[in-house]
Structure 1
């Protein structure tokens, strides 16, 4: 089996995250999404690099495990539909960028705000997977559950954490915008996917 785009993204993200987390924590600030730095210094690269760094092992592990289980599926689906796996790479990168734009607009006058993590892109991948296989079974802490149930719980947790505003540097609101992007992106290119999703939703299979 060749090196997939999903595994390549996971490998690069883990290398950057672990290196900065344990050996160069000051670098995290340089890569994070800091709206005022984007506004004042035009450091637009931050819209992408923020997705390469994470707050801790739990944050990194949650995102990368979710990407591992759903990313390979969506990568293959995109290759079948669009005849190129690079649509998946474009999709993932746009997931990071577009899920960060609302955060930028919301905090562009906040000198102390910064956020990190690939949550927006991972959320996009999860919800794109829901479009094609809502009743697929996944295991969360050894507990089997339909993917659509996991997606709902995932979003509920995100909304809760975002409202609590722990100040942990994790951009919880990016989950919401990433999810919306994940649902919209495939349908824009192939509207019949929406009908396929509704049909799958109405015919549960476990």
Structure 2
């Protein structure tokens, strides 16, 4: 996928620096994490800063490793500025969905770049649906679009059943944000990958139906 562009290096560096600061400074971490109570008090900066904090080094490592693999695809097709637009749009979309689902849970907190990274994953899949992903513990390559659909369906399952201490709603919101913004900025994809666009929309429709039926 080629070497990393400077803008991707800067995003990864910001995540590493701020996450390390959060690991060693509890008050810093508490002040800037995603927290419903804090946001509803007017601390909207948390909607941004929480995306540059992580729970631990493993959380940070896997998010940055995923970004390392998918970001060059997006930069290669759209350039630096549009990559940043997708990244931050996905970050905010993930946090907005979390805010929507947890708006009355004042103690609900979350951190991580997963929403932004999910958006970049989906942008990468839209541009290169023929990509194959090699995941740990799975001996065969997985088509990118199969991974994408499975990722969102698992996120819906996780949201519905509150599996683990994971912000599944932020993952889902970020992926949807990346999907929508990418299509807005690259409408030619409707001519080249219309079938794939429709297939990747299926989990989004499932979430919408479940939400309307009150199943989430």
User: For this structure pair, what is the TM-score category when the shorter chain's length is used for normalisation?
Assistant: 0.7 to 0.9
The equivalent of 1:163 in structure 2 is 160
Cα pair 2:36 2:105 within 8 Å, conserved: yes
- Secondary structure of 1:140's counterpart equals coil
TM-score in terms of structure 2 length: 0.80
Query: Quick one: which of 101, 105, 112 aligns to 1:110?
Result: 105
Q: Deviations over 1:11-42 (max 9, x none)?
A: 11012112312x123322211111221212x1
Cα distance in structure 2, aligned partners of 1:98 and 1:132: 20
Q: 1:86, CA displacement in angstroms?
A: 1.3
The equivalent residue for 2:142 is 145
- Kindly state the Cα deviation for residue 199 of structure 1 after the two structures are TM-superposed: 6.2
**Residue in structure 1 matched with residue 78 of structure 2 by the alignment:** 78
TM-score normalized with structure 1 length: 0.83
Question: Matches of 1:188 and 1:200 in 2, distance apart?
Answer: 16
CA–CA separation in structure 2 for the residues paired with 1:78 and 1:3: 12
Is 1:99 the counterpart of 2:97 in the alignment? Answer: no
1:1-40 equivalences in 2 (<5 Å): 3-21=5-23, 23-40=24-41
Deviates most, 89-98 or 125-134: 89-98
Q: Which residue of 2 aligns with 1:54?
A: 54
Distance apart, 1:167 and its partner CA: 6.0
Q: Which residue matches 1:45?
A: 45
Give the secondary-structure state (helix, strand or coil) at the position aligned to 2:193. Answer: helix
CA contact (8 A) 2:90 2:174 kept: yes
The alpha-carbon deviation at position 2 of structure 1 amounts to 7.5
Q: Gapped runs of 5+ residues in structure 1?
A: 80-84, 202-206
Assess, with a 3 A threshold, how the Cα gap between structure 1 residues 123 and 190 changes in structure 2: closer, same or farther: same
Deviation track 1:87-127 (CA, whole Å, cap 9, x = no partner) reads 21122112111221122133232221111111111110001
Q: C-alpha deviations, 1:112-158, integer Å up to 9, x for none? A: 11111111111100011111111212221174222122223322443
The CA RMSD over aligned residues, in Å, is: 2.3
2:176 pairs, out of 163, 174, 180, with: 180
Corresponding pairs, count: 194
